[in-house]
Amino acid sequence: MTTTFTQYSRALLAAALLWLPTTIQAQSGPASLTYATYTWEAKRKPLTITPAEAKQPAIVLRDFRVEEFARDAKNEMHLYSVDHRIVRVNTSDGIEQFNKIYLPVQDGGRILSLKARTISPRGEIVDVQESNMKELKDEDGSRGYKVFAVEGVEKGSEIEYLFTRERSINYFGRMYLQSQVPARDVHVELITPEALTFEVRRYPGSLVRDTVVQEKRISRVVLHDVPGLREEGFSNLQAQRQRLEYKLAYNASQGRVRLFTWAAASQFLYNRVYNWDKDELKAVDKLLKQMNLPATQQLPALENYLKTNFRLNEGAGDVNLTRVIASHNASETGFARLFAALMSKLNIAHELVLTNDRTEAPFDDTFDTWNYLDHPVFYFPGTKQWLAPGRPDYRLPLIPADWTDNKGLFVRRVQLGSTETAVGKIGDIPTLSAELSPNDLDIAVQFAPNLDKSTVTIRETLGGYSAQQIQPFYGLIPEDKRPEVLQGIIKSNVPDANFLKLDVKNGETGLNPLEKPFIVDATVESVALLDRAGPKYLFKVGTLLGPQSELYQSEQRQFDVENEFNRSYSRTITFEVPAGYQVRNLQDLNMNVTAGPTANGPEYLFNSSYQQQGQKVTVTIREYYRQIRWPKSDFEAFRSVVNAAANFNKVVLVMEKKS
């Protein structure tokens, strides 16, 4: 969850502590923890590994993790954790990966104990000195790490570390069971007072059963031989990792009343976003007058004003609108409150939606953990459009692609007599069709009379999500650096380009790329497009498409395909065959590869063809990806479309004199 929404949820969660029965208050302080005396074996020999494990760059021989909710000596509830890992490194890459250990210190938590050591292949044990441990911060300062260097590690060594932490309570959590490194012993536990029932769901899998031991409720997962994940094209590795999600579901003092449901989340979010005091509303009225919005198209003007004049600052914990408006700084939540207040003043009908990034974990509507309520979005039922209040780089109706093709909690305000409240439901957040995110090329090639160079005229048009990587940021680039950025775009198609002309259209910030696509026009000279081979000339027409993705993996596919967004490509290449010459292999330009035939045509397509009129040749290429997900059971069909584009990229036309 984002920082601010997590803080808000904790305010509500703190109230839940009042529900705890007095019977658990005797359990106080870290000494009462189940694994308070847990430690490693002081002296031991290196663990035995199999020949298969020895071939891995590194392997986790033990991954022991426990999270336990318990009261401290002041009778305050905290979350305590124990982490113990043993990693065997077999290669230089394995050593490079693990010779620095990063331990997160965040959310007001602290490390209670920490020790680390190495065990050489000969059984020599070397403790890591505390002097080698130091604190690092993220660039934005939002998260701290205790980092320690592990020196003198050699191939075949074991790196072992054990640490305990104390953190603020949060009744929603996520624990990963899998990484890119294989593990042969994974042991994870969640321990809570008996009066608190947490539901733990394993992905993939189902609910994890708990047991009660000595007035503690324990949910445990033990796994052996967990495979390491491989990077794969067109997949989200993070979202595919085996993991546990947990949430507080019941409290003995409340009977069988389910806690923290979607309905409760809806009411909570409504109270946080739509409750404004009198001073806040006065500040909003004053701001509204200053904005001087037009009588029509008020919403786009409102969005552009706020995202131009207010700065996103996730470190800004204060979401009081009086102070937000005065400082012109707001967190993602602060932006949501400000938008909501202004839209309410303007009578713009909308719904608040909370969702998450599907590349981290797909939103599971069947498990009501608030861990998915990361990002606020507004939905406008009248126009079926979307707005991301805390993302200054997006404009209506676009929101980040990773939030789409996902589910979200829709919170709608309703009037019950004289009282306003909210109701919520889980709904779908659709993504754009492929045609709305074009990446198009219009290219004309003219060969010099002596065939020693080519003049290339290019227009590249980027719309929708295809434009998001450059259009919102182009206006922020120093003016003297902009030509370099534009040249980089064109050089992906003509790597040796010598620029004669270079222009951009719709490079201003705050534009809607669905209405005003980002367009680059260039005229360049190239000597590399045409090679001489004796009396023949080789025209590298395929390189004009630019680098293409390739899927030539030999291993069996692990995951279903997942595209970032639907997209389309339309390319036209025209050139004049030099007088007295002909192209011997024009048929190499004809390709037609599809996947997923439906009533509306294939879901994925690469089609290229040509027409020749006299000496003029026109090549037309159409490519699109109209579906975000695709089953791995039919991966070959998808791969064939992707590779068709890569294969076209290698097409070379042979021009020879006419006989």
Listing DSSP states for 436-465 in one string gives: GSBEEEEEEEEE-TTSS-EEEEEEEEE-GG
Cβ(454)–Cβ(496) under 8 Å?
no
Q: Among 254, 273, 296, identify where a domain stops.
A: 254
Q: What is the pLDDT of residue 39?
A: 95
Cβ(147)–Cβ(133) under 8 Å?
yes
Q: Are residues 355 and 470 in the same domain?
A: no
Higher pLDDT, 391 or 315: 391
Q: Are residues 383 and 440 in the same domain?
A: no
Q: How far apart are CA 427 and CA 105, in angstroms?
A: 35
Q: What is the pLDDT of residue 496?
A: 95
**Which three-class secondary structure state does DSSP give residue 290?**
helix
Q: Are residues 633 and 492 in the same domain?
A: yes
371-407 pLDDT tens trace: 999 999 999 999 999 999 999 999 999 999 999 999 9
Of the ranges 134-143, 160-169, 595-604, which is most confident? 160-169
Q: Is 214's pLDDT higher than 70?
A: yes
Q: Are residues 194 and 79 in the same domain?
A: yes
Q: What is the pLDDT of residue 72?
A: 83
Higher pLDDT, 243 or 416: 243
Cis peptide preceding 46, ω within 30 of 0? no
Q: What is the pLDDT of residue 36?
A: 92
pLDDT band at residue 278 under the 50/70/90 scheme: very high
pLDDT band at residue 325 under the 50/70/90 scheme: very high
Q: What is the pLDDT of residue 128?
A: 85
Q: What is the pLDDT of residue 359?
A: 95
Q: What's the total number of domains in the chain?
A: 3
Q: What is the mean pLDDT of residues 270-296?
A: 95
**Which three-class secondary structure state does DSSP give residue 63?**
strand
Q: How far apart are CA 8 and CA 28, in angstroms?
A: 26
Sign of CA dihedral 486, 605, 385, 401: negative
Residue listed under structure tokens 């706020």: 306
Q: Are residues 189 and 290 in the same domain?
A: no
3-class SS letters over 322-389: HHHHHHCEECHHHHHHHHHHHHHHCCCCCEEEEECCCCCCCCCCCCCCHHHCCEEEEEECCCCEEECC
Mutual angle of helices 298-309 and 332-345, in 10-degree steps: 150
143-164 burial code (b ≥16 CB/10 A, e <16): ebbbebebeebeebbbbbbbbb
**Pair of tokens at residue 562:** 């997942």
Q: Among 385, 413, 429, identify where a domain stops.
A: 429
Mutual angle of helices 278-291 and 332-345, in 10-degree steps: 80
Q: How far apart are CA 639 and CA 513, in angstroms?
A: 29
Q: Is 137's pLDDT higher than 70?
A: no
Q: What is the pLDDT of residue 32?
A: 86
How large is the C-alpha radius of gyration of the chain?
30
Q: How far apart are CA 247 and CA 169, in angstroms?
A: 12
Q: Following DSSP, what letter does each residue of 172-238 receive, concatenated?
A: EEEEE---SS-BS-EEEEEEEETTEEEEEEEESS-BPPEEEETTEEEEEEEESSBPPPPP-TTS-HH
Give the count of beta carbons closer than 10 Å to the beta carbon of residue 60.
20
Q: How far apart are CA 141 and CA 138, in angstroms?
A: 5
Q: Following DSSP, what letter does each residue of 553-620 receive, concatenated?
A: --SPP-S-EE-SS-EEEEEEEEEEPPTTEEETTGGGG-EEEEEEEETTEEEEEEEEEEEEETTEEEEE
Q: Which of 25-34, 134-143, 644-653 has the lowest mean pLDDT?
A: 134-143
**Which three-class secondary structure state does DSSP give residue 392?**
coil
pLDDT band at residue 2 under the 50/70/90 scheme: very low
Helix (H) or strand (E) segment spanning residue 35: none
Q: How far is C-alpha 322 from the chain's CA centre?
A: 33
Residue listed under structure tokens 């992905």: 203
Query: CA geometry: angle at 190 spanning 184 and 194, to 5°?
Result: 145
**Pair of tokens at residue 273:** 């976003």
Q: What is the pLDDT of residue 615?
A: 95
Q: What is the pLDDT of residue 19?
A: 41
* Amino acid at the residue 321: L
Cβ(153)–Cβ(118) under 8 Å?
yes
Q: How far apart are CA 197 and CA 217, in angstroms?
A: 7
10-60 pLDDT tens trace: 444 444 443 444 333 334 446 789 999 999 999 999 999 999 999 999 999
Q: Are residues 151 and 270 in the same domain?
A: no
β pairing state of 385-387 and 351-355: unpaired
CATH code at 631?
Answer: 2.60.120.1130
Q: Are residues 494 and 573 in the same domain?
A: yes
183-193 pLDDT tens trace: 999 999 999 99
Q: Are residues 317 and 244 in the same domain?
A: no
% of the chain residues with pLDDT over 90: 80
Q: Are residues 454 and 414 in the same domain?
A: no
CATH code at 273?
Answer: 3.10.620.30
Q: Output the average pLDDT for the chain.
A: 91
Q: What is the pLDDT of residue 156?
A: 95
Q: Are residues 204 and 126 in the same domain?
A: yes
**Residue 364 domain-assigned (yes or no):** yes
pLDDT band at residue 416 under the 50/70/90 scheme: confident
Q: Are residues 211 and 289 in the same domain?
A: no
441-490 pLDDT tens trace: 999 999 999 999 999 999 999 999 999 999 999 999 999 999 999 999 99
% of the chain residues with pLDDT over 70: 93
Mutual angle of helices 3-16 and 262-274, in 10-degree steps: 120
Q: Are residues 581 and 510 in the same domain?
A: yes
**Residue 119 domain-assigned (yes or no):** yes
Domain enclosing residue 353, as ranges? 262-429
* Amino acid at the residue 2: T
Q: Among 196, 221, 254, identify where a domain stops.
A: 254
**Residue 525 domain-assigned (yes or no):** yes
Nearest Cα residue to 539 out of 511, 592, 593, 578: 578
**Which three-class secondary structure state does DSSP give residue 572?**
strand
Q: What is the pLDDT of residue 149?
A: 83
* Amino acid at the residue 570: S
